[in-house]
Amino acid sequence: MKFSAIAFATVVASSASTASAFTVSPGVVNLSPASTQRTVAFPTTATQPRSSRAFVSSRNVASSSSPTSLNLAGGGGTEALQDYITSLSTTASPLVTKMKNPKLIKLAGVAAVPLSYALGAAMTPSRRLAARAVGGVVAAVTAGGVGKNAVEEDVRRSCPSAIAARLVELGVDGDFVSDGIDRLKEDYGVEEEDFTTMKTEVYSVYLVGMAKNPLAKTAELKELSNLREALSLDNMQVGQAHADAAKTFYRDVTRFTSVEELDDEDHPDRVSLDKMLFLTERAFRQGKETEEAFTFEFSRVAKALGELSMSEALERAKDVARPFYERALASTRSKLESGAVNSDMLRRARVTLGITDDEAKEMHVESFAQEVRSQLGLPDEEDEEDEIDINQDKRVETVAEIEAKMQKMKEEAASKPVEDTSAIKFKDGAFDQLSKLQEVLGLNDEDADYEVAAATERYWRNTALQTLDDAIAGTKDPAKAWGIIQSRQKELFLKDSSMKSMMTSIIMQSLGKPLEKVNTFARVNNAAATYDGLIDAIAAKETCKDVLKEAGWSEFEDFEKACFDPFDKASACGFLTNMDRHNMYQIFFQRSVKVDEEGGKSISDEAKARMKELRGMLGISEEEGENQIRNFFGPELQSVLVAAVEEVTRGNTTDVLLQNMKEKIGSVISNFQLEDEMVRSYAGPLYNRAVEQIASTAPGGIPSKDQVETLASLRELLSIAMEDVYEVHGNTFGAQYKKGIKEALGTTGVIREEFRAPLEDLKSRLGVSDQAAKDTYLEALSERMKPMIEYISNEMERLVLTNDQLAQKRGDDYGEDYFKSGQKASGKLGLGTDGNIMSDIMNLIDFYVENDIVEKSVVGTKKVEKKVPADEEGGEEKTITVEEPVYESAYPITAMGLQCIDEKVAELCYRQFVVSSFTDQSPNAARYEASKATFGGILGLTAEKMEEIGSNIGGMVYDNYITQSMSTKGALDQQDMMFLANIQGKLGISAEKGEQMMLDTQKKIISEEASALLDAGSPTPEQIKAFREKCNSMGLDLETDVGLSKSRLVSMFSMEITPGIDSGDITIESAEQLQEIQESLGLSEEEGEEVIATLIQERANGVLADVVGCMLRGMDAVAVESMEVLVQYAAFVDGDLGFEVEESNANKAYNMFENKDWSGVDEEEVERQKALLKKALGVSA
């Protein structure tokens, strides 16, 4: 760093603001033990003398020291700056050692300012006399042996000291401190970079001083921000200052404090380190650093303070910030009634301290909880120190020791007197106070309610437990008990939402006590005490239910489910093992069975109801309860049922016998209160066994009339409905029913009418249900039907497959003669009908129909018109509209469903049948046609697939027939339309589909005719006209239906009108004719006009050339004839032919035309033609 002598003199002279504190070098403060008053002043403008400063600021600064590990007087930025100034003044300046003349030493000192002023003024007169004066002194000293480097070193020491001194004197928040510090750069002649480094060092010193005082204050954040502004530092410079401060600070700390001691969070030096992290984090955040820059800068500081990780350093910084915010929250609580605090103030505090929303919420909740306890008159909760159990490492050797220890804990808890907490309640106005605090803290109702419940639940539970105990003991009725509980709820501000869960817990605890007591009796088989205890527990449960009924909570409608869940350890029975629960129920069940004097057992309705209640309390399912009853009473029920069944199956069953047996069975059921389901479960197998026994002894497996009656008597005795035994009857007698069906089919395969009644009787005797009988019937018919379908399928394959295809499919070679010829289809309309399998198909249809396999169902109705004859002679016939049902046929068994034919072959079979049905001319044709849908259904084809096949066949028929008819007649006549309509009906084609098929065929034929007409050469206008009119008569659009392009239509228009225009047959008066041709061809008016204009223009150009040529050759008469044609063309465009004719030729031509023979021509027509030619040739008037 280089300084000139005159610059140094200037520095010395301009440091009058700190002159009283200097000894030799400028800016070095002399701190005496006693406090001194320092006055600082600087000018408001650069031109004012030092004696006229804008303001004067005085501050008492004292220097003291104390023996701390950090070697600071008391900590703080200002004290650190004072020590910093002192440290810079402890080393003697080279300038001092060279000043031997006392006067010069005094002159250079602070006390000699007037003398230096005079000396400078004499040597170098100027408005900055003091600086020049000192400059002279410095020059003299330099001449006397003080080198330039010594001056630079002295300035290097003096300028930072001056910066620090100015901060001490004016304070970091002084109004002009920033300007005062910036002026030091000019006063000392320091370069910008060096001056910034000095300011950064001063900031670092100040920061270290703040950190050395372990006591953190929020004002320090503002103080640090003011320091940054006073020193005019940017983010990078602040980051460097903090990094330097961290290194220095950690080095100083670790000189006296070990790393192990710094791990103690309460150690003063550890607190100071955390404070450094806090101040750093806040400074960087307030500087609005980017996240990347913050991470870099803060990690440097964290590393310097003991190689801390980023996350650990941030957490330690947060630990410093939290107590500040906790004090803010405490202040909020204390000032809540005054309205002096609000949520915005807390938000600003969070921003200042860097408290996140999540952290703030946690602290807000804690603060709210403290206020709740305060409003209850309770002390704040304190964290209990973890008590060290000296026996915690001692292992319990046996289960007995564990049980003994638990028993002791229970006894201690039971002997502990119940604390009376009824006086604990919220203060008056507590609700409003808590509501205000909740709003200021921004807590939702859920959080607030939870904290209220957490603080008050214990006191509410005490009241609720005692009240429930009183209700169970009978000293309070349920309504009064609930009133007390609800009143306590309101006193403690508890919401219903939290009350429900707490009430559940209370009830579980209240009902768990008696169950726990009963369990001790049950484990030692004390049946009497167990039974009595469970009776009391049931009564206690009913009392609790009555209490909750007063609350009207729907959640407790299923009380047992809410409070007695065996899989929930917290429920009233959750502490019981599965064995304990079943043991208790077993004892209660056995004690509930009463034995009379004769040894008969019974269960009363009351006992049965209690057992049901107990099952709910012990978490025992209804199924388990039924099993208990089954195991206990099942043998007796089984015994009486077996005896009754055996007696009835012996035969000779009378009404008296049935009555006696019923009474015996009913007595057992009544005495033991047995459920119908249990009785059915025992009676069912006995009946099934009886059915099997009868089937094994019946001739042919078909029960006799007596045996049928026996089974009916058994069903009556055992109260079994016929519907309940259909399955066993079907499994037992189904084979006999199927055999009967096959016998009824006989050789014809059709069940005759006289066999249907016996089959129905057989079904009734066998006890087979209608559905089972139907399934068996269809199964028998399927077996008969399957070979018929397979034969038809094989024959169809022979008709349509070639030798190779059939051999490949079947894997056999059947010989050359056995296959289809391979020739193309022939016959009527080009459809092949080789091979006649129609008789086999009709046999299949007859089999299906006559055996009533088709199922018809009504799916809707339709309205039809019917003619009604006249009521009397001479009257009029009437037409009425009636609704008739619409049936839909279903085919329960199909060829594809039986998997004896694939879909492709099925479609081929249906196609062949359809073709034969409408080509056949025999008497069977009508029968074939009527059976198409039935055959398709038997094959398993859908209605859509059948219509598709019919349409394909129809399309072929339509195509062939229409093509033949139109090729011979040119159009379809009435006879053709009737034939097509007949085909449409035979093939089952809808009217819309038939019309579309006919239209498609016509389009195809006309399109081919158009191609032949236009592609063969130049058709005549007559041919074009005839083709056009033919299409119009058939309703075909030439472009969309026939497929002619726009260019072809234009060409046709041109070819048809050109000869007429040339001959004069088509003139301007022929507009209607032209419009008819244009519209017929599907051209727009603009397109027609464009064609005519183009045609006229081309023709007119040729005629004009002929006129000019004839005039050149002297052929005037021919020229006039050409001009007559030219006039015809001009009439179409009102004479505007767009000619460019030489004036001489135009005039000559016009004169020749004007002078021609006009005899016999109307004068008006003469003038019209002349005017047209004149306009066309461009002859001027």
pLDDT category at 688 given cuts 50, 70, 90 is very high
The residue ranking higher by pLDDT, 678 or 996, is 678
pLDDT at res. 519: 92
When pLDDT is averaged across residues 591-597 and rounded to a whole number, the result is 83
When pLDDT is averaged across residues 208-236 and rounded to a whole number, the result is 87
* Backbone torsion region of residue 189, taken as left when φ is above 0, otherwise alpha when ψ lies between -120 and 50, otherwise beta: left
- The full DSSP string for 193-251 is HHHHHHHHHHHHHHHHHHHHS----THHHHHHHHHHHHHT--HHHHHHHHHHHHHHHHH
pLDDT at 262 over 90: no
The gap from C-alpha 1082 to its chain's centroid, in whole angstroms, comes to 55
Q: How far is CA 666 from CA 80, 670, 681, in A?
A: 107, 6, 15
pLDDT at res. 23: 32
Chain mean pLDDT for the chain: 77
The gap from C-alpha 621 to its chain's centroid, in whole angstroms, comes to 39
Least confident of 676-680, 711-715, 902-906, 1046-1050: 1046-1050
112: Cβ–Cβ under 8 A, 6 or more apart, which residues? 106
The answer to whether 139 touches 5, Cβ cutoff 8 Å, is yes
Torsion over CA of 1110, 1113, 1117 and 1121, rounded to 10 degrees?
Answer: -10
Residue type, 571: S
User: Residue written as tokens 């497929």?
Assistant: 1043
User: Residue written as tokens 């379809």?
Assistant: 972
The answer to whether 200 touches 239, Cβ cutoff 8 Å, is no
The gap from C-alpha 829 to its chain's centroid, in whole angstroms, comes to 62
CA pair distance 924, 901, nearest whole angstrom: 26
pLDDT at res. 37: 35
pLDDT at res. 827: 42
CA pair distance 383, 361, nearest whole angstrom: 20
pLDDT at res. 897: 93
When pLDDT is averaged across residues 884-912 and rounded to a whole number, the result is 90
pLDDT at 832 over 50: no
Closest Cα partner for 280 from 258, 257, 299? 299
| 11-22: pLDDT as tens digits | 333 333 333 332
Query: What letter does residue 257 receive in the DSSP assignment?
Result: S
CA pair distance 1145, 1107, nearest whole angstrom: 9
pLDDT category at 891 given cuts 50, 70, 90 is very high
pLDDT at res. 987: 63
pLDDT at res. 984: 66
| Residues across the chain | 1181
pLDDT at 1173 over 90: no
pLDDT at res. 941: 92
Can you say whether the dihedral through the CA atoms of 828, 829, 834, 839 is positive or negative? negative
Least confident of 68-77, 117-126, 961-970, 1146-1155: 117-126
The residue ranking higher by pLDDT, 1062 or 56, is 1062
The most confident of 33-47, 742-756, 953-967, 1013-1027, by mean pLDDT: 742-756
| 97-153: pLDDT as tens digits | 333 333 333 333 333 333 333 333 333 333 333 333 334 434 433 444 445 565 566
| 612-648: pLDDT as tens digits | 899 999 988 888 888 888 888 888 888 889 998 888 8
The answer to whether 502 touches 461, Cβ cutoff 8 Å, is yes
pTM confidence score? 0.46
The gap from C-alpha 744 to its chain's centroid, in whole angstroms, comes to 64
pLDDT at res. 922: 79
Residue type, 439: E
651: Cβ–Cβ under 8 A, 6 or more apart, which residues? 706, 710
| 24-77: pLDDT as tens digits | 333 333 333 333 333 333 333 333 333 333 323 333 333 333 333 333 334 588
1073: Cβ–Cβ under 8 A, 6 or more apart, which residues? 1066
pLDDT at 823 over 70: no
Percent share of the chain, pLDDT over 90: 14
| 293-342: pLDDT as tens digits | 988 998 999 999 889 999 898 888 888 888 888 888 888 888 888 877 88
CA pair distance 510, 461, nearest whole angstrom: 11
pLDDT at res. 16: 34
CA pair distance 674, 665, nearest whole angstrom: 11
pLDDT category at 350 given cuts 50, 70, 90 is confident
pLDDT at 1107 over 80: yes
Percent share of the chain, pLDDT over 70: 79
pLDDT at 1011 over 80: no
When pLDDT is averaged across residues 1134-1140 and rounded to a whole number, the result is 81
861 SS3 class? strand
CA pair distance 939, 904, nearest whole angstrom: 11
